[in-house]
Chain A
Amino acid sequence: EVQLLESGGGSVQPGGSLRLSCAASGFTLGSSEMNWVRQAPGKGLEWVAYINTHGATYHADSVKGRFTISRDNARNSLYLQMDSLRAEDTAVYYCSRDLLNPIQGIIVGMDVWGQGTTVTVSS
């Protein structure tokens, strides 16, 4: 069964750091393009970061310079290093897998999502 399992969430003070992990099972993470998406309490979905199979990364403007997405193909895992955390980073963080159109080779959606891990930034 294809699954994603996030971990590493918790409570941290403003300015602190956390590292989120996302373990993949049932598929090879290194062959997939992956994302982190977050959802603040009572709010909608917000894309955070993306990494492709070549290691190229993109980050949302709201986290650029503070968050870093990475992957360890040997461990079949995805990571999100979060530094200089702010209260507005409080959210459930999901990892997700991109679905590619096999003919065009372009992203057409996110077909697998983890259960999420909660990050709370508060003094």
Chain B
Amino acid sequence: SLELTQPPSVSVSPGQTAAITCSGDKLGEKYTSWYQQKPGQSPILVIYQDYKRPSGIPERFSGSNSGNTATLTISGAQAVDEAEYYCQAWDTNAAYVFGGGTKVTV
């Protein structure tokens, strides 16, 4: 079954770019979504269908997906972006799979 691997942590200086990767077998053939979760809060969808942003999500969030790796990019990171980020995909076994999460420190 599909397994998604994320780095445990990413650190970025304010105003710089953070790239969070999510790796899985043939992940580029599936749609990937990304969620932001702050301590004590529910997850929020920030990217769906690999690169699309829901309304209300800042343009500094972008996504890509190719080969075995999906990437969430935060361009011009702000302190408010400090959170845990999870990738997610739908497995052929009719099941959702989440990555282990990446803690982003700004």
A79: CB under 8 A from chain B? no
Q: Is the CB of B98 within 8 A of A46?
A: yes
Most-contacted residue by chain B among A35, A99, A109 (CB, 10 A): A109
SS of A interface (majority): strand
A115: CB under 8 A from chain B? yes
- Residues from 54 to 101 in A contacting B, C-beta threshold 8 Å: 58, 60, 94, 99, 101
Give complex CA distance A44, B102 in Å: 10
Q: Is the CB of B49 within 8 A of A109?
A: yes
One digit per residue, 1 when the CB lies within 8 angstroms of any chain B CB and 0 when it does not, for chain A 99-113 equals 101000011111101
Q: Is the CB of B45 within 8 A of A109?
A: yes
Q: Is the CB of A35 within 8 A of B33?
A: no
Interface magnitude class on chain A: 20 to 34
B28: CB under 8 A from chain A? no
**Given A101-B49, A109-B48, A109-B49; A94-B43 close (CB under 8 Å):** yes
Candidates A45, A101, A106; contact of B35 at CB < 8 Å:
A45
**Given A99-B48, A110-B45, A110-B88; A45-B98 close (CB under 8 Å):** yes
Number of interface residues of B (CB under 8 A): 25
Give complex CA distance A34, B106 in Å: 33
Nearest B residue to A4 by beta-carbon distance? Answer: B42
Q: Is the CB of A60 within 8 A of B95?
A: yes
Give complex CA distance A115, B84 in Å: 17
B94: CB under 8 A from chain A? yes
**Given A44-B101, A94-B42, A101-B49; A109-B33 close (CB under 8 Å):** yes
Residues of B within 8 A of A (CB): 31, 33, 35, 37, 42-45, 47-49, 52, 54, 84, 86, 88, 90, 94-101
